[in-house]
Amino acid sequence: MTLFLIAGEPSGDRLGAALMAGLKQLSAEVRFAGIGGPMMQAEGLESLFPMEELSVMGLVEVLPKYFALKRRIAQAAEAMLASGAQAMVTIDSPDFCLRVAAIVKAARPEMPVIHYVAPSVWAWRPGRAAKMARVVDHVLALLPFEPPYMTAAGMSCDFVGHPVVAEPLATAAEAERMRGHGPLVLALPGSRKGEVTRLAPVLGRVVAGIRAVHPDARVALPTVRGVSGLVQELTADWAIAPQIIQDAATKRAAFAAADVAIAASGTVSLELAANDCPMVIAYDMNPLTLWLMRRAALIDTVTLVNLVSETRVVPEFIGPDCREDRIVPAVLQVLEAGAAAQHAAMRLTMERLGRGGPAPGLRAAQSVLDFLSARGVV
């Protein structure tokens, strides 16, 4: 059996590689074609073209590459149809993947299409599920409450667990080496230039407020190569010079050792929960974008720990509330009074995301094989 896979982002490359490993473990006969990054290539995929060409976000960034992306969509669909694959698996990156799927389905309506990572229709734009159901047959969901939204739109769906539960954690010794005499604060202003530019000044003022109460506090700031220079520039005048971290092992140790994190919204809250690190969420964006999102929002919290645990114990400071005079008291509350409710919610979150069970990649592989078996493909 040959599967045609498409991933367009590093996160999708990780999901795809774990899925491929799981499929090889469960089925010796599986072969792969498609588009992926270095992790999928290490599992045996020969990528049709560099995945990095698809890692474009935002209207301003997409416009100059619009025609190149259209050509890649057509090329990917043509390659899929010529590959002899029995099914296609698209991984996140819906703007690209679902356009390829539409071309494939138009040519071969019977071709099974599986999409890995359900769209967040529970948060906003619920109509996306019905639109996706026109070209997708089966969905692999990362969050336990997502399958009913997908099945209501006409697709089958399995919750396969979130990859965060399978990521390596620091050892107790590694965490201990990160600790010092004062509290350790994690500053996480995001991984994109726009996020860092908006949040770093606010976090700098928060750090000054923490230092006024805890002069022995230390700050660690994990970042990625693409914004490390910007981070160094924007943190140069912070009241506590942060330890800027880029390597994965030190980042894991910092997550395990920290007493509290001030983090941008996103999946980083799940990484913190995996390490049982209390957090305060702070996020700002363009006022018009914020207004539009709030008008379309279907939920009252943006933090995945709050959503998965069905609590609201992680404090959030979004948009106009993303101010040091509001964030500092919340951080100090964690440092001085602890965060028992957060610890309970984080443990529950990890349990609900699949910790202690089969690896998500293996669960995803089993879901793919079960679905294709029901369709008579395997």
Q: Where are the domains of the chain?
A: 2-161+357-374, 172-352
Query: How large is the average pLDDT for residues 45-69?
Result: 70
For residue 67, what pLDDT is reported? 78
274: left (phi over 0), alpha (psi -120 to 50) or beta: alpha
Instruction: From the options 3.40.50.2000, 3.20.20.70, 3.30.420.270, 1.25.40.10, give the CATH code of 2-161+357-374.
Output: 3.40.50.2000
Asked if residue 288 has pLDDT above 70, the reply is no
Residue type, 154: G
pLDDT at residue 55 in the model: 60
Helix (H, G, I), strand (E, B) or coil at 157: strand
What is the predicted pLDDT for the residue at 236? Answer: 96
The pLDDT mean for the chain works out to: 91
Distance from the Cα of residue 72 to its chain's centroid: 24
* The residue count for the chain: 378
Can you tell me the distance from the alpha carbon of 249 to that of 191, in angstroms, rounded to the nearest whole number? 18
Please state the rounded mean pLDDT for residues 96-111: 96
- pLDDT of 127 reads 84
- Domains 2-161+357-374 and 172-352 in one fold: yes
- The whole-number pLDDT of residue 299 equals 75
Mean pLDDT of 281-299: 70
Distance between CA atoms of residues 233 and 200, nearest Å: 10
Per-residue pLDDT, averaged over 349-354, amounts to: 96
- Alpha-carbon distance of 319 to 26, in angstroms, equals 47
Phi and psi, residue 4, nearest 5°: -100, 115
Residue 23: its pLDDT value, please?
Answer: 97
Q: Cβ neighbours of residue 51 under 8 Å, at least 6 residues apart?
A: 7, 8, 9, 13, 35, 36, 37
Candidate from 116-130, 144-158, 272-286 with smallest mean pLDDT: 116-130
The region of weakest confidence among 131-145, 214-228, 296-310, 334-348 is: 296-310
The CATH class given to the 172-352 domain equals alpha beta
State residue 57's pLDDT score.
44
Average pLDDT over residues 287-310: 76
Please give the pLDDT value at position 64. 57
What does the radius of gyration of the chain's CA atoms come to, in whole angstroms?
22
* Residue 246: strand pairing partners: none
At residue 58, does pLDDT exceed 70?
A: no
- Position 11 scores a pLDDT of 85
CA–chain centroid gap for 157, Å, is 19
